[in-house]
Structure 1
Amino acid sequence: MADELDLLRDADPVPADGPHFGDGPLDHGAERQLNRLLHATDPGRSRRAPWAWGLATTAVVAATALALLLGGPATAPAVAAPRPLTVRAGSTPVPLDRLAELAAAAAADGEPALLKGTHVQSWSLGMSDDAPPVTLPEERIVRWTADDRHTELVVATDPRHPGRPVLSDAGGEPRPVEDGRVISRRAFPPTWSDAPPEARPPHDARHLRGYLLESAYAESLTTPELLDAVGRLLDHWTLGARESAALVRVLADTEGLRPAGQVTDRLGRSGQAYVYQAAGARRMLIMDPGTGAVLGLEATFTADQPEYGVRAGDVMEYSAWMR
Structure 2
Amino acid sequence: MRDEDLTGRASTTGADALLAEIVSMERPARRRLLRLPGRALLGLAAAATAVAVIAPAMLSDNTISVAPQPGTSTSATAEPTARQILLAAAVAAEQAPASGDYWRYKGVTRWMLTDPTRNYVLEKARAGEQWLARRTGLQSWRIGQDLGVKPATPQDEAAWRAAGSPTSWRYPKDMKTENLFSVPHRPLEAAAGERTAERLRWKTVGDLAGESLTWKKMRAVPDEPETLRSYLEERIGRLDLTGSGMDVEEARKHILLRDCVDIISTLPASPETRASAYRILASLPAIRAEGETTDPLGRRGQSLSYQEEIEPGVFAEVRLVVDPSTGLLLSEVRANTTELADGRQAELRVSRSFQEIGWTDERPQLPTRRN
- After TM superposition, the score normalised by the length of structure 1 is 0.55
CA distances 1:236-289 after superposition (whole Å, capped 9, x unpaired):
425554333212211111122111111121223221111114664311111112
Q: Who is 1:318 aligned against?
A: 351
Give the conservation status (yes or no) of the 8 Å contact 1:204–1:243. Answer: yes
Cα offset for 1:194?
9.3
TM-superposed CA distance for 1:210, in Å, is 4.7
- Give the SS at the match of 2:144: strand
**Counterpart-to-counterpart distance in 1, 2:96 and 2:65:** 33
Look up the match of 2:123. 135
Are 1:274 and 2:261 counterparts? no
Read off the aligned partner of 1:175 and give its amino acid letter.
Answer: L
Distance 1:292 1:212, change over 3 A: farther
Q: Which has more radius of gyration?
A: 2
Mapped to 2, the partners of 1:310 and 1:206 lie a distance apart of: 49
Unaligned runs of 5+ in 2: 1-62, 68-77, 152-166, 171-182, 240-247, 309-313, 357-371
**Cα 1:277/1:175, change in 2 over 3 Å:** closer
Query: Taking structure 1 as reference, are residues 266 and 88 closer, same or farther at Cα in structure 2, changes over 3 Å only?
Result: farther
Backbone CA RMSD of aligned residues? 4.4
Question: Structure 1: where are the runs of 5+ without partners?
Answer: 1-86
Match of 2:285 among 255, 258, 265: 255
The 8 Å contact of residues 332 and 352 in structure 2, kept in 1 or not, is answered as yes
Aligned counterpart, 1:178: 191
Q: Please say if 1:297 is aligned against 2:332.
A: yes
Output the amino acid matched with 2:81.
Answer: P
Whose strand proportion is higher, 1 or 2?
A: 2
For 2:302 and 2:64, the matched residues in 1 are separated by 10
Change (3 A) 1:224 1:310: farther
- Correspondence 1:5-154 to 2 at 5 A: 93-107=79-93, 110-113=95-98, 116-126=103-113, 134-145=122-133, 146-147=135-136, 149-154=139-144
Distance, in Å, in 2 between the alignment partners of 1:224 and 1:140 is 26
Offset, 1:141: 0.7
How many corresponding residue pairs? 229
Q: Is the 8 A contact 2:112 2:350 kept in 1?
A: yes
Q: Deviations over 1:79-118 (max 9, x none)?
A: xxxxxxxx9999963223323442344355x423366342
Contact 1:97 1:252 in 2 (8 A): yes
Percent of paired sites with the same residue: 17
Q: For the structure 1 residues 208 and 134, does the alpha-carbon distance in structure 2 shift closer, same or farther, using more than 3 Å as the test?
A: farther
Distance 1:144 1:265, change over 3 A: same
Give 1:265's aligned residue. 295
Cα distance in 1, alignment partners of residues 261 and 343 from structure 2 = 23
140-149 vs 235-244, which moves further: 235-244
Q: 2:132, 2:205 within 8 Å by CA — same for their partners in 1?
A: no
**Pair 1:189-2:201 in alignment:** yes
Instruction: Kindly indicate whether the alpha-carbon contact (under 8 Å) linking 2:112 and 2:348 is maintained by their aligned counterparts in 1.
Output: no
